């Protein structure tokens, strides 16, 4: 997921994507502790995507504050 793709989305859509990714990360963690993770590299990819989404959300908040 690229930042350019995220910047075009609305804030509510970003929040929904973040929730979905956090749920997926939770499921991966559950698999990790049960000992059957198929793709362990997904942990870092999902964490990075969540960070990108949080950055995009913060950028929209800053833009709103500057306009006011």
Q: Which two tokens stand for residue 46?
A: 């999902």
pLDDT of residue 64: 84
Q: Which two tokens stand for residue 25?
A: 């990360």
Q: 3-class SS at 38? A: coil
Q: Which domains, and CATH codes, for the chain? A: 3-67 (1.10.287)
- Can you tell me the distance from the alpha carbon of 58 to that of 53, in angstroms, rounded to the nearest whole number? 9
pLDDT of residue 53: 95
* Backbone region of residue 3 per phi and psi (left: phi > 0; alpha: psi in -120 to 50; beta: other values): alpha
**Global confidence as pTM:** 0.85
Q: 3-class SS at 1? A: coil
pLDDT of residue 42: 92
pLDDT of residue 1: 75
Mean pLDDT split into 10-residue runs, the chain, 68 residues: 83 94 94 87 94 93 84
pLDDT of residue 36: 85
- Can you tell me the distance from the alpha carbon of 39 to that of 24, in angstroms, rounded to the nearest whole number? 13
């Amino acid at each position: 997921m690229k930042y350019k793709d995220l910047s075009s989305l609305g804030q509510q859509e970003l929040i929904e994507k973040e929730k979905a990714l956090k749920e997926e990360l939770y499921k991966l963690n559950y698999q990790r502790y049960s000992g059957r993770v198929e793709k362990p590299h997904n942990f870092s990819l999902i964490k990075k995507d969540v960070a990108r989404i949080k950055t995009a959300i913060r950028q929209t908040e800053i833009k709103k504050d500057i306009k006011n």
